[in-house]
Amino acid sequence: PGKKVLIVYAHQEPKSFNGSLLKIAVEELTKQGCSVMVSDLYAMQFEPRATRNDIVGHLHNSEAFNYAVETWEAYKRGGLSKDLVEEQKKVQEADLLIFQFPLFWFSMPAILKGWMDRVLVQGFAYDLSKVYDGGLLQDKLSLFSFTTGGSQEMYSNEGISGDIRYVLWPMQHGIMHFCGVKVLEPHICYAPEHVSEENRKEMLAAWTQRLKTLWKEEPIDCSPEWYFK
Amino acid sequence: PGKKVLIVYAHQEPKSFNGSLLKIAVEELTKQGCSVMVSDLYAMQFEPRATRNDIVGHLHNSEAFNYAVETWEAYKRGGLSKDLVEEQKKVQEADLLIFQFPLFWFSMPAILKGWMDRVLVQGFAYDLSKVYDGGLLQDKLSLFSFTTGGSQEMYSNEGISGDIRYVLWPMQHGIMHFCGVKVLEPHICYAPEHVSEENRKEMLAAWTQRLKTLWKEEPIDCSPEWYFK
């Protein structure tokens, strides 16, 4: 109760299974007394491309554009574009970040990757030597909640797509841990399009159930061992 | 000689180190008698968002939008948007796909991820049970050529960012191998912004050198063992 949650949501269709998972999270967390913010990326037509447009006014070096340097400098002087500032405000306020999306090509949809690329700039999310456990977004939790096309068997150690944890490494360790954000167990719904309506309902119920005790969970140990044994 | 190469390039600045790597590849491969196509994603203002706009005309199911289903159906009836059809033509013609980009957050920049999300649709790149070694883009090679911010030490087994091969799994196995494309050794330039001008020149020379014998290389064994030992 009183906790703030930002859900960054990347699906085009409210009637989708991802849409249902979003709805459940908003309802359940609100019921708990949390304040829930939602960044509905497709609805916002969120810009995924990292370009000069992200910097308001003059460039630090207009001779050769370096996105990382320019956004860092712009952050320091308050010169990032409005859409980024708004997302950063939401992140700053949040105790928990939930990313809700369908797995696309072993990763996030580009629109969500663009949110990571553009919002988590140097100075805001990390800084010189302030990375990983020293990252600037400490005391926050994150949770990757996603659906897959492939089955759980495919995403197993013996399966053709390999252990699902392999795809979590860049997202959980490379992004969240890098920024100092703690990582809760991912929530994975395998192949909702290929199971029965009954199974789908069970998956939705399981998400509701998990959210009820979410705040009691311990973060995972986000080390290589967790991912690769 | 006579081979066709598509370079999908994702950097905003021609004067960047990535820009130099692109220039070298175009020059060296052209010199060899290859025909080189370049998709310069930022210059093209390539759209990374997977939306309804990718389908020309009617939807298969306008009640609930499903991107994977809609692009599959649109592909079959020749109803994908023009920018996608053009990229697919280039892929179809190419013997080798080179992806040239700066590593952003342990992965591709969103604009390049969007190219993967939108171009490699079902029916074109893979199909029902036509995946991995049975994927539809067989007899093609791919090569991921990228720069990092972190040093080689950071991206080692003992380093804080873990073995660089961990980040290659989603891109090389999850995307290219999934579509049946063979994968050459990646070409990685570590932290070009943090080394001496002399070192940068050596890195560029090494890329030229590698390209000279590229067509003699054997693809990697794109199995979990290559990535995770």
Which positions in chain B touch A61 (Cβ < 8 Å)? none
State the pLDDT at residue B143: 98
CATH number reported for the structural domain that contains residue B182 in this entry: 3.40.50.360
Q: Which residues of A20-44 are buried (b: 16+ CB within 10 A; e: fewer)?
A: bbbebbbebbeebebebbbbbbbee
Instruction: Pick the residue from chain A with its C-alpha nearest to B103.
Output: A117
For B4-39, b where at least 16 C-beta lie within 10 A, e where not — what string?
bbbbbbbbbebebbbbbbbebbbebbeebebebbbb
Measured distance CA(B29)–CA(B109) in Å, rounded: 25
pLDDT for position A131: 96
The tokens describing A146, both together, are: 């996603």
Measured between CA atoms, the residue of chain B closest to residue A227 is B166
The C-alpha atoms of residue B4 and residue B120 are separated, in whole angstroms, by 19
Cβ contacts (< 8 Å) between A200 and chain B: which residues? none
Residue A1: is its pLDDT beyond 90? no
B171: chain A residues, CB-CB within 8 Å: 106
Q: What is the pLDDT of residues A130-155, one digit of tens each?
A: 999 999 999 999 999 999 999 999 99
CB contact under 8 A, A108 and B111: no
Least CB–CB distance from B175: residue in A105, A114, A118 = A105
Pairing of strands B182-183, B141-147: parallel
- Does A110 sit within 8 Å of B117, measured CB to CB? yes
pLDDT (0 to 100) of residue A145: 98
Q: Do B104 and A149 touch (CB under 8 A)?
A: no
Count of the separate structural domains present in chain A: 1
Rounded Cα–Cα distance for residues B165 and B39 (Å): 26
* Cβ pair A37, A68 in contact under 8 A: no
Q: Give pLDDT, residue A229.
A: 83
Predicted TM-score of the model (pTM)? 0.98
Residue span of the structural domain in which B222 resides: 4-228
A165-169: average pLDDT: 98
Q: How far is A29 from chain B (nearest CA, A)?
A: 26
Q: Min CA distance, A59 vs chain B (Å)? A: 13
Which pLDDT value is given to residue B1? 75
**Of the candidates B57, B74, B1, which has an alpha carbon nearest to the alpha carbon of residue B33?**
B1
**In a 3-state reduction of DSSP, which class is residue A220?**
coil
Here the tokens at position A159 are 């399966």
**Nearest C-alpha of chain A: how many angstroms from B32?**
30
Confidence of residue A48 (pLDDT cuts 50, 70, 90): very high
Contact B222, B183 (CB under 8 A): yes
Report how far residue A13's alpha carbon sits from residue A25's, in angstroms, rounded to the nearest whole number.
Answer: 16
**Angle at the Cα of A99 from the Cα atoms of A103 and A88, rounded to 5 degrees:** 135
Which residues 17-36 on chain B approach chain A with CB closer than 8 angstroms?
none
Q: What is the C-alpha to C-alpha distance for residues A114 and A116, in angstroms, rounded to an integer?
A: 5
Tell which of B11, B45, B61, B104 to mutate to test the A interface (max A CBs under 10 Å): B104
CB A76 within 8 A of CB A123: yes
Q: B51 CB contacts (<8 Å, ≥6 apart)?
A: A12, A42, B67
CB B181, CB B172: distance < 8 Å: no
In chain A, whose CA is at the least distance from the CA of B107? A170
User: Looking at CA atoms only, how far is residue B113 from chain A in angstroms?
Assistant: 5
Tell me the three-class secondary structure of A60-120, residue by residue: CCCCCCCHHHHHHHHHHCCCECHHHHHHHHHHHHCCEEEEEEECECCECCHHHHHHHHHHC
**Burial call A105-126: b when 16+ CB within 10 Å, e when fewer:** bbbbbbbbbbbbbbbbbbbbbb
Q: What does the alpha-carbon distance between residue B175 and residue A104 come to, in Å, rounded to a whole number?
A: 10
Residue A121 sits at the chain B interface (C-beta within 8 Å): no
CB contact (8 A) between residue A107 and residue B114: no
pLDDT per residue rounded down to tens, chain B (229 residues):
799 999 999 999 999 999 999 999 999 999 999 999 999 999 999 999 999 999 999 999 999 999 999 999 999 999 999 999 999 999 999 999 999 999 999 999 999 999 999 999 999 999 999 999 999 999 999 999 999 999 999 999 999 999 999 999 999 999 999 999 999 999 999 999 999 999 999 999 999 999 999 999 999 999 999 999 8
- CA torsion B38-B44-B47-B52 (nearest 10°) is -100
Q: Which regions of chain A does DSSP assign to beta strands (E)?
A: 4-9, 35-40, 96-102, 141-147, 182-183, 187-189
Question: How many Cβ atoms from other residues are within 10 Å of residue A229's Cβ?
Answer: 9
Gap between the Cα atoms of B2 and B34, Å rounded: 5
Mean per-residue pLDDT over chain A, rounded: 97
Could you tell me if B49 lies within 8 Å of chain A, comparing CB atoms? Answer: yes
Count helices and strands in chain B by DSSP H and E runs = 7, 6
Residues β-bridged to residue B145: B100, B187
Report residue A83 as tokens: 């859409």
Residues of B within 8 A of A224 (CB-CB) are: 162, 166
Band of the pLDDT at A205, cuts 50, 70, 90? Answer: very high
Chain B 1-20, residues with CB within 8 Å of chain A CB atoms: 12-13, 15-16
User: Could you tell me how many CB contacts below 8 A there are between chain A and chain B?
Assistant: 153
Q: Where are the beta strands (DSSP E) in chain B?
A: 4-9, 35-40, 96-102, 141-147, 182-183, 187-189
